[in-house]
Amino acid sequence: MKAVREKSEPIPAGAVGSTGKYGENLRLIAQAQAGDARAADLLVRRNGGLVNHVAQRFSGRGYEMEELVQIGSIGLLKAIRTFDPERACAFSTYAVPLIFGEIRRFLRDDGPIKVSRTQKRLGAALAAERERSLAAGEGELRLSELAARCGTTPEEAAAALDAIAPVVSLSDMLYNDEDSPTLESTLSNEEENLRSFNRLAVSMAIDKLPELRRKIVLLRYFRDCSQSETAAALGLTQVKVSREERRILEFLREELSDGT
């Protein structure tokens, strides 16, 4: 569906300069984009039939009409937020592809992970309310504000929004460019994290040792010196180094023990 018609075609009812219901749409859109929440709500109600008409095209796929209409309403709200009155097309002409796209995206992304219908309905209502606030110029709502408007708790709201979030592949690019790393490359390496944690724990334990014992650890385990070489460097006997080393290991075992 073309957003801009050829010059030879008449401008449809509802385009710039039209009157009646379509002109009223344009007036309400301007008010909504200027931050009037009531205008955005009125637009959604007045164009509800359009959403229902599109949602009907997807009936019989295992979803309730109410659910499809809620998802479609998100597309309608996006249309309200982004419609440019200078376009040579009616608002409905512009809105239909966005409504279709939102429902198609929902159906496409809903398959891999099954969630309850209650969560999906709540998630759709939350997403619609978020789009309504954006369309009305209120900005992005905090999760607590979004939850309060939909009569739920922040915890339930977070779970519901997660439930309807699109599933992505680990091979997807992190950014929209050819040299972008994949999502998989950002995953945490648990083994490396464990090694880093162990190194930090050992370092903190060594810092608690007296200075002489810290020097012994440095020479024996970081510079790979023998006991005799360590003794010579510190002016000690080899027996003294051996005894101190045993005490160091006993201290570290106790310090690093998990208590089991």
What pLDDT score was predicted for residue 171?
59
Give yes or no: residues 156 and 206 share one domain. Answer: no
Residue 182 lies in a domain: no
What pLDDT score was predicted for residue 145?
86
What pLDDT score was predicted for residue 14?
36
Mean pLDDT of the chain: 77
Among 164, 179, 212, which residue terminates a domain? 164
Q: Tell me if 54 sits within 8 A of 72, measured CB to CB.
A: yes
179, pLDDT greater than 50: yes
Q: Tell me if 245 sits within 8 A of 218, measured CB to CB.
A: no
What separation in angstroms does the CA of 58 have from each of 46, 98, 164, 176, 238?
Answer: 21, 15, 18, 31, 84
* Gyration radius of the chain over CA positions: 32
Residue 60 lies in a domain: yes
Whole-prediction pTM: 0.43
Residue 244 lies in a domain: yes
168, pLDDT greater than 80: no
Number of domains, the chain:
2
Q: Pick the closest to residue 25 from 72, 69, 89 (CA basis).
A: 89
What pLDDT score was predicted for residue 190?
56
Token reading at 211: 């200075």
Q: If you search the block for the tokens 């008449």, which residue do you land on?
A: 10
pLDDT tens per residue, range 1-38: 333 333 333 333 333 333 455 677 788 888 888 888 88
Token reading at 120: 């999906």
Residue 170 lies in a domain: no
Residue 192 banded pLDDT, cuts 50, 70, 90: low
Residue 131 lies in a domain: yes
Residue 11 lies in a domain: no
What pLDDT score was predicted for residue 212?
93
Containing domain of residue 251, as a range? 190-256
Give yes or no: residues 80 and 200 share one domain. Answer: no
Q: Tell me if 95 sits within 8 A of 144, measured CB to CB.
A: no
In the beta sheet, which residues pair with residue 173?
Answer: 182
Residue 178 lies in a domain: no
Give yes or no: residues 128 and 51 share one domain. Answer: yes
Give yes or no: residues 128 and 211 share one domain. Answer: no
- CATH number of the CATH domain containing 210: 1.10.10.10
92, pLDDT greater than 50: yes
pLDDT tens per residue, range 141-152: 888 888 888 888
Q: Pick the closest to residue 129 from 110, 105, 148, 106 (CA basis).
A: 148
Give yes or no: residues 47 and 119 share one domain. Answer: yes
Residue 81 banded pLDDT, cuts 50, 70, 90: confident
> Letter for the amino acid at 67?
E
Give yes or no: residues 149 and 194 share one domain. Answer: no
Q: Tell me if 62 sits within 8 A of 106, measured CB to CB.
A: no
- CATH number of the CATH domain containing 28: 1.20.120
Mean pLDDT for the stretch of residues 155-179: 66
Residue 183 lies in a domain: no
- Of 172 and 105, the structure prediction assigns the larger pLDDT to 105
Give yes or no: residues 160 and 202 share one domain. Answer: no
- Of 139 and 78, the structure prediction assigns the larger pLDDT to 78
Report the C-alpha gap between 81 and 40 in whole angstroms: 9
